[in-house]
Amino acid sequence: MAPRVVVAEKIAESGIQTLRECCEVDLAVGVERSELLSRLADAEGLIVRSATQVDAEMIAAAPNLRVIGRAGIGVDNIDLAAATEAGIVVVNAPQANIISAAEHALALMLAQARNIPRADATLRSGVWERSKFEGVELHGKTLGIIGLGRIGSLVAERARAFGMHILGHDPYVSQEHWRRLGVEMVDLDTLLSTSDFITVHLPLTADTKGLIGKDALARVKPTARIVNASRGGIIDEEALAEAIREGRLAGAALDVFSKEPLTQSPLFELDQVVVTPHLGASTAEAQDKAGTDVAKAVVKALRGELVLSAVNVDLGTSVPEEVAEYLPVAETLGRVFTSLAGGLPQSLTVRVAGRIGMGETRPLTLAVLKGALSGVSSRMITYVNAPTIADQRGIALEQETSEVAEHYQSMITVRGEVGGREVSVSATRTRKGPTLVEILGHDVELPVSEKMLIVRNADVPGVIGRLGSYLGDLGVNIANMVVGRAPDTGDAAMMGLNLDDPLTEDQLAELRRLEGIEEARYVSLS
């Protein structure tokens, strides 16, 4: 049965079509809150924009909810703590409006520098005044960008085309990134005191709220102009109005405010201020991309895949494409481990080696944990709640990395002690998909399948034949078989078999009694 997704606010038709390819879509745009709560009772997905308040009450009213999608960037209207506690992944569309937002910041900058709104209004009123609206050029001026994330970086690239000298302040950006952008990184005081134009591109957090306040504004040049097209509340609007009135700042251009919608403000009385009603993402292209991008993310989450843009999943600073390609390997390996071990250890070690061990490995560790817990829990395990459930079970998670993987470009190993016995299993990625390359200390190359039989046996003639005959008598077909030896012993071997048919516990018990069979485990991933 297709999962049901409730769409509570209008998104692009392309996004609706993306959902309908694999989901039942319930369009609930404009319905009363009580009606929305009722429709969420059996929904697995919810898509909103900024108007719907997804609070703890709404989350509690949707016990089957697995994903909340925000068609845009900000998630201020979603209770992330409540969603995370419920194991619900929250996704957004972080790339949808970045070009539109960057272009709007530059539009505001130009509009303020050239007095465009006032000149337009005066001419429309029947008055031709040229000398009154003398402006300033951007060329040759210093632009200070506070926040060099995606949008700030796009502003830097475009401002360079105007011939501006660009300063930047962002303690979380690498030297390589700002060098590539051609930005001179400075401290905040230097940026404020030397910039002719200052533009803000930061999220609103406890640290950034009121960042540009009375003290910061006291350090800017009286000829400087400030632009904010990111989040309201970062600039103290009262302090900004005061600085402009007193001639300590040449002007400002704002698209966002601490309280929205806003129709009255001291800033609106100042000719040196250009304002727009939060239009940064208001382009046809951005709206279309926001709806489509969030729909794709919701579908991905409903399939149980890791959404790299998930807001409430800690994936580190970035996820390289090669690491993302290994996520299915990691999750499958976690499931294989718990099946072989017959449970979970108190301490689970994940070792990432080779090329994928050279970068951020947290997503792979998280995928292993999700797979491992899925094999032993009746609860729905997601990338969001897997760490919490592991903590509740008292499982310590350890990560190891190495830039070298013997015999393979990349490899993941999971090991832990269960029932007094050390269990380890390793896998890599081949053209056949996830492939086991070490099982319980034995070197093998067994492609992962839904039904696998792992047999430890005496390394003597006749064992393989007896096993094959036994499975043949049961009518169980062997799709593939590999054999391997433990590298440090010569008296034990291992067989790994991909089966077309399942084995029962009774059949497995009988198999273990065959001559030469020391251990046999059936692994089912279906």
Catalytic residue of the set 49, 169, 231, 415: 231
Respond yes or no: is residue 260 known to be catalytic.
Answer: yes
278 is catalytic: yes
Closest CA to 394 of 428, 354, 348: 348
The catalytic residue among 260, 285, 450, 518 is: 260
Query: Counting Cβ atoms within 10 Å, is residue 494 exposed (0-12), middle (13-18) or buried (19+)?
Result: buried
- Is 43 in contact with 64 (CB distance < 8 Å)? yes
Dist CA 461 CA 36 (whole Å)? 68
Q: Is 85 a known active-site residue?
A: no
CA distance 465 to 479: 16
Choice among 160, 177, 248, 278 that is catalytic: 278
Q: Using CB atoms within 10 Å of the CB of residue 297, give its burial: 0 to 12 exposed, 13 to 18 middle, 19+ buried.
A: buried
CA distance 213 to 226: 12
CA–CA separation, 116 and 504 (whole Å): 78
Strands 225-228 and 197-200: parallel
CB contact set of 360 (below 8 Å; sequence gap of 6+): 315, 316, 317, 318, 319, 320, 323
Here the tokens at position 409 are 């470009």
Strand partners, 439: 425, 442
Distance between start and end Cα atoms, the chain: 17
Q: How many other CB atoms are found less than 10 A from the CB of residue 462?
A: 10
Angle, alpha carbons 189-161-188 (nearest 5°): 10
Residues annotated catalytic, as ranges: 231, 260, 278
